[in-house]
């Protein structure tokens, strides 16, 4: 079926070229059947890519090692769920996923807008097919990006999935990020279409707004799943390392946040047209930059794929083309982008949104600059200067604080203008809540604690109080009008104003999330401890005792672990199990025994989570005491293999396997005996232990953000929308002068 897969890709590429041609011709000539044919090309492309993806995924599930990709990223011992997801752990497989997702989202937006934006849609179709065509070209013509490359002599066993990726979040994290990136190209494409066709009003925004919000949500979920993976899998105890690939997702997310706020001003007031198109063109470009960073490996990252020159230059060309076309279009259509209104007052929600937009863009620019600083320094001085997390903090921390504060001010300030009296009334409760929180913290923790944490707690309290006040006032106003019971009034308020109140929930969630970040980074205690079984150590009031070592040995994995008993004030808190797992390498030069100890490895953390604090541990056992025995085993089994192999050469496979079975059984017994020494003759083991307060609130905050975004995304019920429209029409009849 690899031939069919290859053919589907080539057919997909031809479909892209055809679709671009007919869409542009349809737009220029105004002939609807050409435009319709272009739109159908996108649907056809989506079907082709789903089939191609299915062929490859089935190959993974069937352990078909004749596919190079399957042999390099899967094995017979890889669990089935991870086999299904292993496809996007490879460069070529993830490119195929990118095209499939983009073609599916493009089909969805073009289907939903098939009777609207008829001047913009054909150009948007051409742009979307252009992106699909670019990625399909890579999979067809760049050898390393070819998902259907096969081998005439397939290996009997694959290399297996990278152990670090054998985590449940890795099943969802990449598709979420790719959905975010691909969905961001949709408003980009419609913005280009709007500029070319001179339809720069609110129409294109109405069609793509939900996709921008969905992209923002998917990117956000992807970022948080990545953070969770880092916290529970990478064995360093943190959730954010300012890694270039992490930043690659954060930058478009920040710009998309700015965009979904500023389009409200264009929709309502016809203002900020230039800003909005520039923002979404920048966001779309940044999504491709993010994809490039993951794919190119130009910046050192544990998440990036191996660098490939052809692929890198193709991406650089695409990004350069996007930048040039974007700037050119904005300059070309500057007359169409003039604002229809002016800012009424600096004391208005528009002004707060504008300021918030500037802070978000500044934050994205700072992250861009520091992320790319190693490359910039290399270009200027010839030496790549690496910068770490400390380089981000001086800029990011103050900007993040301003942003949180603005997310509290935005909801309590009205559109257009407010009087000082209204402002005072709206600010009293949130400001009092912020001051009270600060006072309690000062009393509880003392003034010596982190200023950042204090400020974030104060700002967070301000936001939570502001959002609570908004819900309370809205419910009260609705009750006054409808005389409904409070719960019903609350539910109706949210149901009828989903975008507004969903947004407020998102703000509250972000405040909770950032409080978790501030507390867990500022009040964290950590230490390394080297212990023998029965010994204990203390950390932030907790006593951690190394109870016993644990071990497990299978042909697929060796596991050296520890059981730790955590107590506080003599009371048991939790029993933690942490393991260090070793996966065999397929490299024979490491020795018949050594390859089981020197392949890839991963850490399984021991974690007890609570609403107030997490106790996080990881074991890092040294293999040094076993090295002598491993080398001895290598020598012995190399000799045995050398003696046995000539006897099986020329035998049928089944007979050869039967002849070799005693040797492999002896080898497995030897390995089991070796690792058993970790329990029978234990040696001191090093642990990393971390006690972090309020980490749980980071994840709870993220869930609140997701809930809020889903409320805002949920379609307005048709009946309610019709009622709202009818009421507005009634208003026209009642008020329009005769």
Partner 1 sequence: MEFLIILAVLALVVLFVTRPFWRPDSDRAVAPKDVAELEAARDAKYREIRDAELDVRTGKLSQEDFEAIDRTLRAEAIEILHALDDARGRVNGAARERLPSERR
Contact positions toward partner 1, by CB under 8 A? 1, 3-4, 7-8, 11, 15, 18-19, 32-34, 36-37, 40-41, 43-44, 48, 51, 114-119, 199, 201-203, 206, 267-268, 270, 412-419, 421-422, 425-426, 470, 473-474, 477, 480-481, 497, 500, 724-725, 728, 731-732, 735-736
Instruction: Kindly state the tokens that stand for 361.
Output: 């863009």
The b-or-e profile of 453-481 (16+ CB within 10 A means b, else e) is bbbbbbbbbbbbbbbebbbeebbeebbee
Find out whether 214 and 183 touch, Cβ atoms under 8 Å: yes
Residue 152 vs 654, nearer CB to partner 1: 152
Residue 444 vs 481, nearer CB to partner 1: 481
The b-or-e profile of 175-191 (16+ CB within 10 A means b, else e) is bbbbbbbbbbbbbbbbb
Residue 119 vs 162, nearer CB to partner 1: 119
CB of 665 to partner 1, least distance (A): 42
Residue 48 vs 272, nearer CB to partner 1: 48
CB of 430 to partner 1, least distance (A): 13
Beta bridge mates, 549: 562
CB of 544 to partner 1, least distance (A): 51
Residue 572 vs 731, nearer CB to partner 1: 731
- Cα separation, 543 vs 524, whole angstroms: 16
CB of 412 to partner 1, least distance (A): 7
- Angle between the N-to-C axes of helices 393-412 and 420-445, in degrees from 0 to 180, rounded to the nearest 10: 130
CB of 151 to partner 1, least distance (A): 18
Residue 380 vs 728, nearer CB to partner 1: 728
- Cα separation, 539 vs 573, whole angstroms: 13
CB of 505 to partner 1, least distance (A): 16
- Cα separation, 247 vs 260, whole angstroms: 20
Residue 470 vs 581, nearer CB to partner 1: 470
Residue 29 vs 554, nearer CB to partner 1: 29
Residue 148 vs 616, nearer CB to partner 1: 148
Residue 352 Cα distances to 283, 340, 492, 660, 694, angstroms = 21, 19, 27, 74, 30
Q: Which of 328, 333, 331, 325 is nearest to 198 (CA)?
A: 333
Q: Where are the alpha helices (DSSP H) in 270-392?
A: 273-296, 309-332, 349-381
Q: Is 606 helix (H, G, I), strand (E, B) or coil?
A: strand
- Cα separation, 69 vs 84, whole angstroms: 13
CB of 192 to partner 1, least distance (A): 17
Find out whether 32 and 26 touch, Cβ atoms under 8 Å: yes
Write phi, then psi, for 565 (nearest 5 degrees).
-105, 125
Place of tokens 């993976």: 229
- Cα separation, 399 vs 389, whole angstroms: 16
Q: Is 533 helix (H, G, I), strand (E, B) or coil?
A: coil
Residue 369 vs 729, nearer CB to partner 1: 729
CB of 478 to partner 1, least distance (A): 8
Specify the DSSP class assigned to residue 612. Answer: S
- Cα separation, 704 vs 503, whole angstroms: 11
Residue 468 vs 656, nearer CB to partner 1: 468
CB of 115 to partner 1, least distance (A): 5
Please work out, in degrees rounded to the nearest 5, the angle formed at the alpha carbon of residue 294 by the alpha carbons of 293 and 295. Answer: 95
- Cα separation, 725 vs 704, whole angstroms: 31
CB of 730 to partner 1, least distance (A): 12
Find out whether 271 and 354 touch, Cβ atoms under 8 Å: no
CB of 46 to partner 1, least distance (A): 11
Instruction: Kindly state the tokens that stand for 628.
Output: 């002598």
């Amino acid at each position: 079926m690899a031939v069919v897969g290859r053919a589907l890709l080539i057919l997909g590429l031809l479909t892209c070229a055809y679709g671009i041609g007919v869409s542009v011709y349809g737009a220029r000539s105004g002939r609807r059947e050409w435009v319709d044919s272009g739109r159908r090309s996108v649907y056809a492309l989506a079907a082709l890519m789903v089939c191609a993806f299915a062929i490859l995924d089935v190959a993974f599930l069937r352990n078909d090692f004749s596919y190079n990709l399957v042999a390099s990223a899967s094995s017979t011992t890889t669990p089935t769920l991870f086999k299904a997801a292993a496809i996007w752990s490879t460069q070529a497989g993830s490119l195929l996923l990118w095209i499939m997702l983009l073609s599916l989202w493009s089909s969805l937006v073009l289907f939903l807008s098939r009777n609207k934006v008829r001047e913009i849609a054909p150009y948007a179709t051409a742009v979307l097919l252009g992106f699909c065509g670019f990625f399909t070209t890579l999979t067809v013509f760049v050898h390393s990006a070819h998902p259907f490359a096969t081998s005439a002599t397939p290996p009997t066993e694959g290399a297996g999935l990278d152990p670090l990726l054998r985590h449940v979040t890795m099943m969802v994290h990449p598709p979420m990020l790719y959905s975010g990136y691909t969905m961001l190209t949709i408003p980009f494409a419609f913005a280009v279409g709007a500029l070319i066709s001179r339809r720069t009003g609110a129409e294109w925004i109405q069609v793509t707004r939900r996709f921008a919000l969905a992209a923002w949500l998917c990117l956000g979920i992807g970022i948080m799943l990545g953070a969770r993976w880092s916290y529970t899998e990478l064995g360093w105890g943190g959730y954010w390392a300012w890694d270039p690939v992490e930043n690659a997702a954060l930058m478009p997310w920040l710009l998309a946040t700015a965009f979904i706020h500023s389009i409200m001003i264009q929709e309502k007031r016809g203002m900020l047209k230039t800003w909005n198109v520039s923002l979404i063109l920048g966001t779309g470009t940044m999504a491709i930059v993010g994809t490039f960073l993951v794919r190119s490996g130009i910046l050192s990252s544990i998440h990036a794929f191996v660098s490939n020159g052809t692929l890198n230059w193709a991406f650089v060309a695409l990004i350069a083309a996007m930048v040039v076309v974007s700037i050119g279009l904005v300059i070309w259509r500057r007359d169409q982008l003039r604002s229809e209104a002016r800012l009424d007052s600096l004391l208005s929600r528009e002004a707060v949104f504008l300021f918030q937009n500037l802070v978000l863009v500044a934050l994205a620019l700072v992250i861009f600059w520091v992320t790319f600083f190693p490359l910039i320094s290399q270009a200027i001085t010839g030496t790549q200067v690496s910068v770490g997390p400390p380089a981000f903090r001086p800029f990011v921390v103050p900007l993040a604080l301003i942003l949180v504060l603005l997310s509290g001010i935005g909801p309590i300030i009205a559109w257009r203008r407010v009087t000082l009296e209204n402002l005072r009334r709206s600010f009293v409760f949130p400001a009092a809540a912020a001051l009270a929180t600060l006072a309690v913290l000062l009393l509880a923790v003392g003034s010596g604690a982190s200023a950042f944490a204090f400020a974030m707690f104060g700002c967070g309290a301000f936001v939570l109080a502001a959002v609570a006040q908004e819900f309370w006032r809205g419910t009260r106003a609705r009750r006054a009008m409808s005389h409904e019971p409070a719960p019903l009034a609350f539910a109706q308020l949210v149901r009828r104003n989903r975008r507004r109140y969903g947004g407020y929930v998102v703000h509250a969630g972000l405040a909770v999330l950032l409080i978790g970040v501030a507390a867990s980074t500022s009040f964290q205690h950590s230490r390394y401890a080297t212990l023998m079984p029965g010994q204990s150590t203390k950390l932030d009031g907790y006593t951690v005792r190394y109870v016993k070592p644990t071990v497990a040995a299978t042909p697929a994995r060796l596991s050296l672990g520890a059981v730790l008993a955590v107590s506080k004030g003599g009371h048991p808190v939790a029993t933690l199990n942490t393991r260090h797992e070793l996966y065999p390498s397929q490299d024979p030069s490491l020795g018949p025994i050594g390859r089981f100890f020197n392949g890839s490895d991963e850490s399984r953390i021991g974690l007890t989570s609570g609403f107030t604090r997490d106790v996080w541990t990881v074991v890092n056992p040294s293999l040094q005491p076993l090295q002598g025995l491993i080398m001895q085993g290598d020598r012995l089994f190399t000799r045995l293999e050398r003696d046995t192999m000539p006897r099986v050469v020329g035998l049928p496979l089944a007979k050869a396997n039967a002849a070799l079975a005693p040797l492999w059984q002896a080898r497995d017994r030897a390995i089991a005996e070796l690792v058993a020494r970790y329990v029978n003759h234990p040696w001191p083991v090093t642990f990393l232990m971390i006690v972090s307060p309020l980490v749980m609130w980071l994840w709870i905050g993220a869930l609140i953000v997701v809930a809020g975004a889903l409320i805002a995304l949920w379609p307005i019920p048709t009946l309610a929308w019709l009622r709202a429209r009818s009421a507005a029409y009634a208003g026209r009849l009642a008020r329009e002068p005769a």
